Amino acid sequence: MSVMHIADAPKDLVHGSVIITPKPEFFEEISAAFIKFGAQVEANEPDTLVFSITKSEPAPGQEGPALLVISVVFKNMAAADAHRATSYHKEFTSHSKDVDKLLCIPEMKTLTPLGGYMRQPSK
């Protein structure tokens, strides 16, 4: 099993995340839209290395809404810029009318890797 230590990853990788808090009745609709968008990214952007869509729920004993967490890793800043310049990204992010389906404004973060690792799963 191969292991890549995050500290050894190329320094020009661009990591980011978006945290979306949909109203519960819109969670499935918004999730489906991100899954469709992710398929477009995968088909057209070889330099988008990771596009992960995950559901985050409160830990046992805690309360709060389910979150949709999108994590991305781009090969470099040019790949991130190219991603934002695509017609499907512009269309997808132009849905300001859909803000009423969210509990709050999405949080966009740029991430700087500090440590950890990633394993290639065994088959």
In 3-state terms, what secondary structure has residue 36? Answer: helix
Q: Which residue range forms the structural domain that includes residue 27? A: 3-119
Residues 80-115 pLDDT 10s: 999 999 999 999 888 766 889 999 999 999 998 888
Judge contact between 115 and 8, C-beta under 8 A: no
In the chain, how many domains are there?
1
Separation CA 80–CA 82 (nearest Å): 5
- Give 54's strand partners: 69
CA terminus-to-terminus distance, the chain = 9
- Averages of pLDDT over each 10 residues, the chain, 123 residues: 78 93 96 96 97 95 95 95 96 81 93 84 74
pLDDT of residue 81: 97
Residue 105 is which amino acid?
Answer: I
Query: Which residue type does 101 have?
Result: K
**The pLDDT value given to residue 117:** 86
**CATH number, domain at 50?**
3.30.70.100
